Structures are given as C-alpha cells and as structure tokens.
Structure 1
Amino acid sequence: MQRKEKHALFWGIGQLAIMAGGIVWFGTADFMSLQWRLYLSAFFLSAGIAGYWSGTQFFIGKLRAVHVRWMAPAVLITSGIFYLLWNIENNWLPRGSAAALGFIMLWAGTRLVGINNRYRFLGLTLMLRGGFNLFAAVSLSQDMYVVWFIGTSLLKVLTMLGLVYAVQDEIQQRYARTIDSLSHGFLIRDRRGYVHVANERCAKLLGFDNAQQLIGKHVCDLLPGLSREMADHYFFRFEADGVQYPIADTATFKLRNGNHLPVELLGSPYIERGRLYCLVQLLDISERKKKDDQLFQAARVDPVTGYSNRHALSDRLALKVARAAENGRECAVLFIDLDKFKRVNDSFGHAAGDELLRSAARRLHALLRPNDVLARFGGDEFIIVIPDLAPNSAEQTAADCAEAIIAAMARGFELSYHAISVTASIGIACYPKHGTDSDTLIRNADIAMYEAKKTGRGEQRMFTEDMNAVARDGLVIDGALRGAIEANEFSLVYQAITNAQTGKLTKVEALLRWNSSLLGPVPPDRFIPVAEDSGMIIELGTWVLDQACRQVGLWKQSALDDVTISINVSSWQLADPGFVTLVSQALIRNGLSPHQLELELTERVLIEDTLNVQTVLAQLRALGVGISLDDFGTGYSSLSYLTQFHLNTLKIDRAFVMDIEHSERSNNLVHAIIAMGHSLGLQLVAEGVETAGQATILEQMGCHYLQGYHIARPIAPDELLRFADSRAAALAQTPAQPDFVI
C-alpha cells in the first residue's frame, strides 16, 4: 500500500503464486487436464520465483525499471521451460518446484544477510526455507507431505517475523535518524514522566553523553531543579479541553553540572496504543536570550553612564511610589541639570562631554543609599529617586541631598588634562505632597529645576503650586504663540534715548508687544521666556530685526534720519549660523548704515556659549554693528565680561538709577560704573530715568545717554516721530550754554 514498501507487495505476489501453483497441482486433478495443470503450475512457480527475486532486489535497493519491464517476458519464458521439462516427466514437478524455490530463497537469504545487520534474521530464515526446500526436493515422498507442510509453515512464520522485524527496524532507524537530524532536542515522555524516546541533541543539551542515557529515566532525574509536581502539571495541560497545540513555554533549566540553559519548549500530544504521550521539542535559546538581554539593556540602560535611562526610571519610580502608598511612606524626586554643559561639548568635544557625564554620574551615585535610584534623564539631566522615607521627612531629606550634590559638583572635574568647573541646578518634588504618580513627580521636579535656573546656577528649589501655575501659563502662551506672527498680532513700540549733554534724540530702543487674539495683551516678561524655551525666539527675533530696520528706513529724511535703533537679541539667535547674514541683509535691504543698528545682549546670553558668542560678536563688529550689554550690574560676573568681550555700550540697570538721589551707596555705585566705562572707552546709557534730579546727577557724573519715562515712554512710530520733531524744535530755540563760566 505504501510506495516505499513494494518489497512486501512483490513477496506477497510470489507467495500467493506458489500457493496457487500448489492448489492447481494437488486440487484440480479431478476436473482439469494434465497439460493445463502442468502449464499453470509452471506459470505460478515462475511468478513465485519472480516475486521473491524482485522483492529481494527492491528490499536491498537494486531493482531497476529495466528489470520490471522484462519481468513478464521472463515469467513466460521460465514457465515455458518448466512446462517442457515437466511434460517429459510430470513426477519432477513437486521435486523441481521445491528445488527451484529452495535456490531462489537461498539466493535471497544470502543477499539480505550480506547487505545490512538488521536484515540478517530475515535472511537466515529465508536460507533455512531454501535449505529445507532443497532437502525436500531430494528426499520428498508422498507420505512425507505432511512433514514438509508443517516444516514449511513454521519456516514461513519465521520468515514473516523476520520481515516484520526488518521493516520495523528500518522504520525505527529512519525515525531515529530523522529526530537525530533535528537541530533542537526532542523527547517523548509518558504520563508518569518517563522518557521513551530522545535524540542526541536532547542528550547534549541536558548534559548527557548520548540519547540512550535518557531512555527509561524520569524527567526529574534529568533536571535537578524539576519536581514531580511540576512534571505532572506540565503533562496535565495536554489533557485539558480546548488547548491549542503546540504548547509553547520558555524556561531556564538547571543542569547537572550547575549551568543554566534557557530553552523554549514546544509540546504536542501523541497517542500510541490508546495511551497519551507527550512530544517535547527543546530549543536552545541562549543566543536569543542574550540578544533579548542586550535589547533590554539598550532599552533601559543609558549607554553613556551605565545607569538607568528615562524609560527604566519611569517603571522604577512607579514601583517606589506604589510601595510608598502601601506602607504609608514618602519618597522624593530630584531633577538635576548640569549648568554650562554645552560649553564643555563645544570646547573639548563630545567625548569629553561624555566623560564628564560619566564622572558626574559616579559622583552622584556615591552620595546615594543602596535603595536610591539614579537615572540619566537625557542630555545633561539626571534624576535621583529617594524612596521609603518616613512621613514628613521627604522634603528635608531631599534638600539635604541636593545640598550635598551641589557641593560635590562644585569641586570640579579633571577631564583630558583640563580642570572643568560645572554647577548643578536641582528641582525637588516629593510624594505624596507634590504628586501621586511618577509622571507628575518628574514633571513637577522639572518645573522646580527651571525655577532654580532662573534664580541662578548652583541652586535648588522645592516645587510649589505657584510654579505649576506658571508652567501651565507657559503652555497656554506657547500654544497661542503658534501662528501669532502670521496673524499680525505683534507690533513694535519705540522708546527714545537722548544725549545726556545736548538732549538730542540720537537712539531709540525697539520693544516688542503682543496683543493675542486669544489672551489679549501679554507682557514680554511672560511670552519671551516661553518663546526661548520653545525655540520660537529665532523666528520672532528675525521678525523684530526686519521690522525695526524697515522702520528706521521709513524715518529717512526726517528728524530721525540718522537715529540708531537698538534691539534685544537672545542666545538662540546668536547660536543660529545664519544670524550675521540676516543682520547684513536687513541693513542692505533698508538702506541703513551699520552704525545705525545696535544689538543688546544680557549677561545671560554671554555665559550660555562663550566661545560661539565671541566668534559671532567679532563678525558683527567687523560688519560695523554696535554691541550693547543690557542690565549691567545685575548678572553673575559682569566685570569679567568687560575684558572678555569688546563691547560698545553699557546700559546701567534701573535698579541702581532709581535710588541715586536718596542713597549714597547707589550714587557711589553708579558713579563707579560710569568712571569704569569711561576708562574702557565705553558709551554709557542709564535706564529707568524717571525724574529731572536723576537726569541732572547722571549728566554731572558723565553718563552719555538717558532712557526712561522722564524722557519718553515707549510709543508708536508716528508718535515717536512727532516727539522727535517737537524736541528738535525745542532744542533749536534754547540758547547754547557756554562751556566755561568766567
């Protein structure tokens, strides 16, 4: 029935043909003529010989198509020969048939014995049959037919058993070779847990020398960490209803040598003789697990510092918060930002920046308890989680930790033979006071950190709800800023700056105003920081530059013909590679001389990126544009900038000007600033001049320019032009004062 088992078909045909020949010869004498009996007996004998020959040839793999084609002619020719012989002497038929069968079976047995060990039993039984038939051919008599029949029948049974054994052994070897060729382990176990079949790969995976060592053993004997309850539970799953096969599991086996093997198990049911067995495939997933671990590391570990990244932080913080909620404890989140980190990257390269991050991370980790969490949140930002704190202690513990961090960072770092000084700004949020989930705590700590940066670097701030309100306000403003330029919601007003000696209007400062269609009028101190944080300050600054230069161009041939326009510039604009080109194009497009444009910078702008700022300022000075330092005296290290940067103008902050009439200390300080400015060849502008007395004192001190409400408020372009005309007319009517009084 199976194409691979045609030997059974051929041998079956041969045996049936021999049986048919015997029936014809011994059972048809009463109704069939002798000639037909002779011929049919000869034909069936020939067919039987052909069947045994072709079955043997097929069994050993030597039967060819040409043999099959010549089979029928050979049977006919052989049967003709036997017919002629027996027609001469018909008593030869029994002995001749026995002899012919004996020879063919001896030949078949010899062939099988010499081919393969598993065919040896079958070959021997065929040789016994062949020898018995030859013996019968010599000594067979009619009264011995019963003995011959019994002997032949017994040998047939042995032959059948030999055939069954050979076929079964061949199938088993084929099956064994198949499972041994699998690249993964394979075993079959029964309900009790004993192994019936296993392949060599399975033996190697489990630490055995060969598969035979597994056969008959209980699976618990193979794996030290496996209990019988676990083995039974695994098998019970195959008896459950509705289970989808194969059942896939992953596990880590502890082997006899102590090693651990991660595997994937694919289990399927197998029923044999009415009993349920389990087929299990074992796939070694060591390499896959290693890659999974690497992916896990990449997804949860910061590659620069080796500590947790922001994704791992979120999970760990959520776990710490959940435990704190269960146990009535508190925890604190510290958001740490390294100040001036960008300067390190720009000055020494990103490799030095990475080394600084690693050194800072190690220094931070050294300050923590074993259960505290350190993570790099991104860029130069770190987060520390201090869990499991007693009630009402989180804020103080976090503040103490922040102070220790600030002190540790202030010690500086040695990188690439350079001493690097950095500070840390820290924001703090505590559970449950400042948030009850990880995202809220991180967000609020971030808000507090930005507040710390606003007040000065190297500071810490605890989160308050007021900060949150400011942050929400910033989000609203950020949304409203989008599209505000296209909607023409911005405008410029101009404040006059006059010569302190002559009173002539020689400079104006352009000030940005925003009348939002959504929020109404929004003051600059609310929307400018938001624009800087979002990066929109570049687009906004470009618009201010274009509008201010265009307005000065429109004032040509008027009282403001040669006025200098002063505009504020942010660090974002100076960092833009195309900023100098934008300035040059704005001057050319509006027909302005470079001296008619003055760019105002704050000290914060100067410290953001010193190297880049120096380069850009040098290009602007080469262009002929003036550079002014705004709010002088309120920054961090103002005197150092007077030597680092070649400035044209200092603007004295209104905080010093407002008290010069009544405070000797303020008066002396402003006098010192003006004297210093003169010694450095700088022009000085006093901001916030609101009284005539202040103007007089500043004039006597030698201040060059005055700006403030005493002179004029910020007004629209047309109003400023009228103010300039009226002031020029008033100055023309005032007689010139002599330089000396005699």
Structure 2
Amino acid sequence: MERPAEQAADAPAADPAAAESDEQYWKAVLEAAGHGVWDWDIASNSVRFSRTWKSMLGYADHDIADDLDAWVSRVHPDDLQDTLAAVEAHLEGRTPAYESIHRMRCKDGGWKWILDRGRVFHRDAHGQALRLIGTHTDITERLALEEQIRALNADLERRVEERTAEVCAANAALRESEERFRRLFEDTRQPLSLMDAAGRFIAVNQATLRMLGLDHPGQLIGGTPDKVSPPTQPDSRSSREKALEMMQLAFDQGAHGFEWEHLRANGECFPARILLTAIDNRGEPQLHVVWSDLTVQKQAQARVEYLAYHDELTGLPNRVLGQDRLQQLLAGARNNGMALAVLYLDLDQFKFVNDTHGHAVGNRLFKQVAERLDAQRRAADGLCRLAGDEFILVIGEVALEHAVAQVSVRCEQILASLADPFRLDDLQLFASLSIGIALYPQDGTEAEVLMRNAETALSWAKAEGPHSYRFFESNMNAALLRFVDTREALHRALEHDELVLHYQPQLDLHSGWVVGVEALLRWQRPGVGLVPPGEFIPVAEESGLIVPMGRWVLAEACRQAAALHAAGWPALTMAVNLSAIQFRQRRLEVDVAMALEASGLDPRRLELELTESVLLHGESALQQILSRWSAQGIQLAIDDFGTGYSGLAYLKRLRVNKLKIDRGFVADLQTDAENRAIVQAMIQLAQSFGLKVLAEGVEDAGQLQALQQMGCDQAQGHFYAEPLPAAELMRWLRQADSCADVGNDTGNESGPSSER
C-alpha cells in the first residue's frame, strides 16, 4: 500500500517516556473495555495486535504474525478496497481519523463485522505518518440487532401502510359497491333478475330483456313469472301455481334449480334453466334469479338424437331405425294375416362414379337416388339406408296370394324411377339398382332371417347383371354355404401351399415354333383333388382373396419362367392373367416389380393378360400403368377379346401388344359362318393396329387350318397340349426338342415344334 506524504502534526513533541506510559495505560483501558488494539509502525511495516484483537477472531496469540499482511489478508475481498481507501485518506491527512466498518475472516472460516478506528500517532518533520494506532471492535451482534430493529420498524411501517390502505380500500369499496353491483348486474351477458318475497320482479338486466324480446324493464318489473310463461308447463301444471311452488322451495332450501318453459314477446316458446337463490337485502327476503336459455342446447341434443337414428347424407332412417320399422311392419303383418316383402337394394357400380367424378359428386348423386326411392315409398312401407350404397325397403300390406306379382310390380316401378338421368350442374349421370327380395312368411318369419335372405337374393341379382331383381329361393342358401365353405378353404389353401400352376404352350402359326406358355392357376384341394379355376376364381374375386392369390401367381410364374430359361429355353414368354380387382388395390405395380426382381426374369419375357373388364378400371390411370410397363419391356395382351366392353378407342389409346380371341369364337369356327366372320374381323382389326393375335381353345386340325388361312399369328389349346404341371411341361418341351431344334435360338421364338 502506498503512503503519500501527510501534513505534519500540529502538536509539539511530548516527552517520550511520558508518552509511552500514557500509551500503555490507554491500551490497557481499551483492552479492558473489550476493544482489540493494533499498533502499526509504518516505517518497518510491522503491526502489533493485542490478544483481544486476535481472540476476537478466534486466534491464539501466536497464530497471527505481527505484519500488515496478517490484517489485509483477513479483510473480506468485497470490503478491502473501501477499507484501504479509508486508511490512505487518513494517512494523507484528508480525514481527521481512520474509520471503517468491514468484515474479517475468523479462524473457523466465518466472518465478523468489525468497527475499525485509528489515528496517526507520530509524523516526521515533513508530516509523513510514522505510526498509526487504532482499535478493533466486534459489532456483529450490534449490526444484527440494528438490522432486526430496522426490519421491525419496516414491518411496522408496512403494516401501518397496509392497514391504512385496507381502511381506505374498504371505504372506497363501500362507497362504490352499489355502483359496481349495478354495472355488473346491467352489463353481464347472463340474464339476471331480482324478485321480492311475493314473486314480483323488482329488477331485471338488459340480457334478460333481450332473451325475452322485451324493450324496457317496465314491461317486466312488477309482474310475476307467469307473465312470461305459457299458461301451462310441459307437465300440464299451471305456470302460476308451479312458479309459486318453485319460489317457496328456494326460500326453504336456500336455492333451487329447475327447467322452465318461457314465452318470448313474439309468442315463441323456449326452454330455460332457472336458478333461484334466496338472499337477504337489509332484512328483506328476496330471490336472485339466473336464467340460462337452453334453446341451442336442446336443438343440439335433438340433432344428436336424430343422427342416432337417421342417415346424415340422405335424411333417411338408418339401420337401427330401419330394423325397428321392419319389426313394427312384421308385427302388423302377423296380426293382419298379410304378407310382407324385404327388398335389399344396391347401386350398381357406384364406385366408378366416386373414382371418376369424386366423392362430392357421388354424394350428390346418392342423395338424389335416395329421394327417388323415397318417392316410391308408401305410408305402409319402410325405407332406410344401411351403409355404403345399400338400402332396405320394406313393403307392407302385401296380399298373401298375390305377393310375388304385387312385389314384382313394385320392383319394376323402382327400377323405372331411376331410368331418367340425374342432372348435377353440368353433369348428366345415370344410376341403376340391383334388388334382392325376401317374402314373409315363406322366406322367414324373423327380421334378421328376412334381411339375410334378401341379401343372398341380391348377390344372385348382381351376378345376373345390373338393373335386375331376384326373389329368394331356398337353394340360394345352399349356394351361399358353398361360397362360404370355398372362401374359408381358399384361406387355408394360401396358408398351406395348396395352389399350383399349370402351363399351356403357345405356338406361332407361321413358323410352328413355341413362343411362350400361359400360367393357369389350379387348386389341389385336400380330399377333393384338382379343382378347376372356374369353381374357385369367382369366389376368390368376390371375397378379395384374388389379390394375395394373384401376387403368388406372379411370383411363382416368374420364378418358373426363369427356371425354363436356365434349363435351355431362354426365349419363352410367360403369360400371366390379371384380375380387375388386382388393379383396384393400387399395389399391382409393386407386386409385378417384386416378382421380376425376386426371379431375375427379363421383363421382356413377361406377358400380362388383361381382361376387358379391366378397361373399366379408369382409362387415365390404366394408361399410366400400361405405359410404365411398356417402357420396361413387359408385353401386354387383352384376354378374351370380343366378350367384354372394349372398343376401337381403347385399342388405339392403350399400349397393348396382343389380342387373345376367346375360345367361344374358335369352337364353332368351321360350322358357324357368323363366328367365322367375327374372328376374321378381329384378326384384321388387330393387325391394322399392329397387334399380334392369339386364338385360344384350338382343339383340332380343322380349327388350326382355318385360323392359319385367316392370318392368325399364334394359338394355344388341347390340339397342342393341355395345361401341364411344370415337370411335365419340361418333358413336353424336351420331346419337342427331339423332333426339332426347340428353344436353342436366342431370338423371339424358341424353335420349331413337333406337330401332331
């Protein structure tokens, strides 16, 4: 620490011996008073600390050295700068004495607040301080006490201020309470009012007036509740008498809540929830009234209840209400000895409307169809929407002896009602129905049985084609049981590897070479044997099992084709049939790609056969899929050409490579001139589009010769070979090899075949 020059002391020098004696005396006095004493010899920078000084900080006499650092090092770091500045100021003579309050560290690591005071005891002739003596007083407890006193004073002042504020606030609240209540009462959106003990309104707010359709308070004040109520409540009790009873209950119980039917100024009735609370207004009993208009809530509740029993789109009864209506009509038919008909109606191919025009258009069309059906309903009938595009129409009051005729007439009328087009803005759409019919009592006496039998009849009607109806017949149930049995067995067939592929060779009619094979699905059913596809494919398609079955066929056919190529027939094309249902699943492309990748088959050696019904899947989407397959080199053929819905426009736009003439046209080729003309036209049509033509079902040499004369390109049938298991196909190809060099060419054909 620097020690700048200080002004010389004004007092003359005293006798040294006397001064020393006085110094020791006063040190002893200070020690006895509990003050620590310190003596700093500035020239030598040594400091003597008294025992009290040291013990005050918890040190023994020998624990602290007699130097300035022993003091400086124990001053709290946060206080040191100000303390040293106070010392400097006194040494320089800027203050009459040194004084500092600071913290010092004790031996145990704790801190004590110290009052440090001192004065320069000697200065030299130049005024430079030579010796500084001072006292060291522990004021920790004093400061704590002062802090407590300050805290108590502050707390007392705070409490006085708070109490004063409370008194002021209470006075202000008291002055403003009536005004606040008036504003709250008037401005709240909650309808409120006050009634006296006699049941007369004494105050109402604006929300109450708006709810009741009144213009000013005078229209209600002084009146009683029956003034804004209908003469009677929903329970048929007088509004006036019941209001008095409700008020008495509120006074007796302290509060009472209830629903009340009110009357607006315009005569409209509405329900409200009322809460009456008994209050004491300066000794006068009154009722505080809280009104809650339940109009919206009741309307919402009614809507929920309506939707629980009605279809939201059409407004028709739903399945729940429809079944209840069926039960009622059944009971009436039993009592009256009448017949009854349950009609299960389903819109034909309605999915195509949604796929083509979107669900919004589909919903509008469906709603108009429902309206036309409802127009056909008589008072004795019941109509409901089941789900999706299905309805149930129950025809009541049917004569037992004329039931079939009477219901047939109604079905014809229903179908005819849909004949006119439906107009939706700029669109003109057509719709048709298929109907299944079950009659009470011959087809069932219970609602569930009649609905089930009508649904069974519907499936037969749809199988016959759109816009038709069928009455239930007992043998239909047997067919249904066969369907269910076959469907369940097909599930097991997929799980237990009961499906197999047979392969039928396809030959080029110009060269006689084998150009490919068609994969044909068979089912090796345990306990039955080999099941032909005609007996299980329709079940698979209707149940949706055709999708996993088709996936398996693709994978197995591609695997077998790769095996044939590896065995020495690298140019054979594998033809695989695709179902329209597979296209609707939107993962057919993935299935094809996975089959090719897993087998390693060249895409150019895969031919995918599309039935003409596939063309109804949606031309735009179909074109995109076929274009992507064509780009990969996959061959495309239209199977059973001439039996479905295709036309010249499809042949022009769709990227197919081949047409397959259905065996039905080939069978009578030699005897039916009309069939012969049709086949000739098909061949010429296909060739005009640059397509190859393959004839299916060739059974004899005469058919083959006729097809060759017409210019047909390829053929398959039992004349060459029936569909063969993979091992037998290998032997057939080897036998053909023994007669000609089959399968060794790497071109588009495998080589010449043997002819029978």
Letter in 2 for 1:694: Q
> 3-state SS of the aligned residue for 1:484?
helix
Distance 1:439 1:521, change over 3 A: farther
Matches within 5 A, 1:474-623: 474-517=483-526, 521-623=530-632
> 3-state SS of the aligned residue for 1:555?
helix
Letter in 2 for 1:502: S
Mapped pair 1:226 → 2:219: no
Distance 1:249 1:478 in 2: 60
Matches within 5 A, 1:674-685: 674-685=683-694
In the TM superposition, what whole-angstrom CA distance separates every residue of 1:424-483 from its partner, at most 9, and x where no partner exists? 333333323333333333333333333233222233333323332222222222223335
Letter in 1 for 2:404: E
Matches within 5 A, 1:279-428: 286-428=295-437
Kept after mapping to 2: 8 A contact 1:220/1:227: no
Deviation at 1:414, TM superposition (A): 2.5
Deviation at 1:712, TM superposition (A): 1.3
Deviation at 1:419, TM superposition (A): 2.5
Kept after mapping to 2: 8 A contact 1:330/1:432: yes
Distance 1:414 1:494 in 2: 50
> 3-state SS of the aligned residue for 1:627?
strand
Kept after mapping to 2: 8 A contact 1:559/1:728: no
Matches within 5 A, 1:191-210: none
Matches within 5 A, 1:650-729: 650-729=659-738
Name 1:647's counterpart in structure 2. Answer: 656
Deviation at 1:546, TM superposition (A): 0.5
Distance 1:651 1:380, change over 3 A: same
Distance 2:557 2:605 in 1: 11
RMSD: 5.0
User: Max radius of gyration: which structure?
Assistant: 2
Kept after mapping to 2: 8 A contact 1:584/1:623: no
2:447 pairs with one of 432, 438, 441: 438
Kept after mapping to 2: 8 A contact 1:332/1:398: yes
Name 2:161's counterpart in structure 1. Answer: none
Distance 1:252 1:209, change over 3 A: closer
Deviation at 1:722, TM superposition (A): 0.7
Distance 2:695 2:353 in 1: 35
Name 2:121's counterpart in structure 1. Answer: none
Deviation at 1:403, TM superposition (A): 2.8
Distance 1:637 1:579, change over 3 A: closer
Distance 1:517 1:250 in 2: 71
Distance 2:579 2:299 in 1: 49
Deviation at 1:553, TM superposition (A): 0.7
Deviation at 1:224, TM superposition (A): 8.7
Distance 1:458 1:621, change over 3 A: farther
Greater share of residues in helix: 1
In the TM superposition, what whole-angstrom CA distance separates every residue of 1:597-629 from its partner, at most 9, and x where no partner exists? 111222222224333323222222222212222
Kept after mapping to 2: 8 A contact 1:367/1:405: yes
Distance 1:587 1:499 in 2: 25
Kept after mapping to 1: 8 A contact 2:233/2:261: no
Distance 1:401 1:685, change over 3 A: farther
Kept after mapping to 1: 8 A contact 2:436/2:469: yes
Distance 1:322 1:640 in 2: 56
> 3-state SS of the aligned residue for 1:494?
strand
Kept after mapping to 2: 8 A contact 1:331/1:389: yes
> 3-state SS of the aligned residue for 2:591?
helix
Distance 1:618 1:288, change over 3 A: same
Of 398-407 and 493-502, the range deviating more from structure 2: 398-407
Distance 1:669 1:717, change over 3 A: same
Distance 1:627 1:319, change over 3 A: farther
Kept after mapping to 2: 8 A contact 1:334/1:398: no
> 3-state SS of the aligned residue for 1:311?
helix
In the TM superposition, what whole-angstrom CA distance separates every residue of 1:186-242 from its partner, at most 9, and x where no partner exists? x9xxxxxxx9999999x9999996898579x9x9974497379xx99xx9xxxxxxx
2:459 pairs with one of 440, 444, 450: 450
Deviation at 1:637, TM superposition (A): 4.9
Letter in 1 for 2:509: A
Distance 1:390 1:331 in 2: 8
> 3-state SS of the aligned residue for 2:466?
coil
Structure 1 residue ranges without an equivalent (≥5): 1-181, 188-194, 236-247, 267-280, 738-742
Distance 1:261 1:590 in 2: 75
Name 1:120's counterpart in structure 2. Answer: none
Kept after mapping to 1: 8 A contact 2:382/2:395: yes
Kept after mapping to 1: 8 A contact 2:273/2:293: yes
Name 1:460's counterpart in structure 2. Answer: 469
Matches within 5 A, 1:254-269: none
Name 1:274's counterpart in structure 2. Answer: none
Distance 1:312 1:252, change over 3 A: farther
Deviation at 1:571, TM superposition (A): 1.9
Distance 1:582 1:477, change over 3 A: same
In the TM superposition, what whole-angstrom CA distance separates every residue of 1:539-580 from its partner, at most 9, and x where no partner exists? 221111011000111112435322111111112322233322
> 3-state SS of the aligned residue for 1:545?
helix
Deviation at 1:716, TM superposition (A): 0.7
Distance 1:569 1:500, change over 3 A: same
> 3-state SS of the aligned residue for 2:317?
coil
Distance 1:603 1:406 in 2: 27
Kept after mapping to 1: 8 A contact 2:310/2:318: yes
Distance 1:611 1:322 in 2: 53
Distance 1:223 1:555, change over 3 A: closer
Distance 1:213 1:470 in 2: 75
Letter in 2 for 1:618: S
> 3-state SS of the aligned residue for 1:485?
helix
Name 1:114's counterpart in structure 2. Answer: none
Distance 1:525 1:461 in 2: 23
Kept after mapping to 2: 8 A contact 1:497/1:507: yes
Kept after mapping to 2: 8 A contact 1:541/1:569: yes
Matches within 5 A, 1:112-151: none
In the TM superposition, what whole-angstrom CA distance separates every residue of 1:256-312 from its partner, at most 9, and x where no partner exists? 99866668999xxxxxxxxxxxxxx99986555423321122222222222223333
Distance 1:388 1:676, change over 3 A: same
Work out the percentage of aligned pairs sharing the same amino acid: 37
Deviation at 1:327, TM superposition (A): 1.6
In the TM superposition, what whole-angstrom CA distance separates every residue of 1:387-443 from its partner, at most 9, and x where no partner exists? 222224343333333333433434322234122233333333332333333333333
TM-score of the aligned structures, taking structure 2 as reference length: 0.61
2:635 pairs with one of 623, 626, 631: 626
Name 1:171's counterpart in structure 2. Answer: none
> 3-state SS of the aligned residue for 2:536?
helix
Distance 1:436 1:196 in 2: 65
Distance 2:299 2:582 in 1: 47
Kept after mapping to 2: 8 A contact 1:225/1:253: no
